[in-house]
Amino acid sequence: MAPLLSIEDLHVTAAGHPILNGLDLSIDEGQVHAVMGPNGSGKSTLAATLMGRGDFEVTSGRILFKGLDLDGMTPDERSVQGLFLGFQYPEEIPGVTVLNFLRRAVGARKDFDISVLEVRLQLMDWMDRLDMDPKFAERYLNQGFSGGEKKRNEILQMALLEPDLAVLDETDSGLDIDALKVVSRGINEVRSERPQMSVLLITHYQRILDHVAPDVVHVLLHGRIVASGGMELVEKVEREGYDAFRSAEVSS
């Protein structure tokens, strides 16, 4: 069976500067992959490129998702195909309530009009699971939300949109330990209901991986994956830092 996501020799630039330099990655259905790396290694560029952000240019290589070449697809088209991006810094959208945003997003994803009542019922269920105040449904998207509330709102969107691949870009960033546990529990609950969903979890640190267990861990340095394995790589990062992988970067 072909992988859900296949990235082949991907080179990406921004404003003419190379960021990803021959990145290869393959994710099967139902797998959780963690990508770790220091600041500037290309982690967020990878997430943005997967979703088709226009300020990043793919100069060579290709991305196949469910056998489809994503080249030329807009972010909206990629979302409809089943890609989801959880942002490191979720944007505030004044004037658009969480409920209305999700009604339109879910309708576009499933290609049919969905009632406000149906979305509201799903929202109430998942807000309870994510320890969110039900009043958030009527608030403007992310406006006035704390960092933890914004991240829980990202998981709420993931739950309702039912993606095939969720790309979570530093979802643990800025969370205290209690908020991290709530968000991690939400990720695991979504996965328990949709075990076929795959997750690409991008992070600096081990702490979220103690709650969301990865099948495969990758270390990214200067735009290339230089090591892949299991939790032993996470432990090595925690123990020795990313300098421990510099020799692998040179040799690769």
pTM of the model: 0.91
Residue 251 has pLDDT above 80, yes or no: no
Residue in this structure with the two tokens 């969903």, named with its chain if needed = 197
Nearest residue to 126 (alpha-carbon basis) of 106, 146, 96, 104: 106
pLDDT digits (tens, 9 = 90+) for 230-241: 999 999 998 999
d(CA 94, CA 139): 9
d(CA 201, CA 245): 20
DSSP of 136-149: GGGSEETTT--HHH
Contact 26, 15 (CB under 8 A): no
* CB-CB neighbours of 232 under 10 Å: 9
Which overall architecture, per CATH, does domain 5-251 show? 3-Layer(aba) Sandwich (3.40)
* CB-CB neighbours of 13 under 10 Å: 15
Per-residue pLDDT, 120: 86
Per-residue pLDDT, 250: 47
Burial of 50 by CB count in 10 Å (0-12 exposed, 13-18 middle, 19+ buried)?
buried
d(CA 126, CA 87): 19
pLDDT digits (tens, 9 = 90+) for 101-147: 888 888 888 777 778 788 888 889 988 888 788 888 899 988 888 88
**pLDDT confidence tier of residue 214, bands split at 50, 70 and 90:** very high
Contact 5, 67 (CB under 8 A): no
Per-residue pLDDT, 168: 96
d(CA 103, CA 145): 20
pLDDT digits (tens, 9 = 90+) for 48-96: 999 998 889 999 999 999 999 999 899 999 999 999 999 877 887 889 9
Amino acid at 84: F
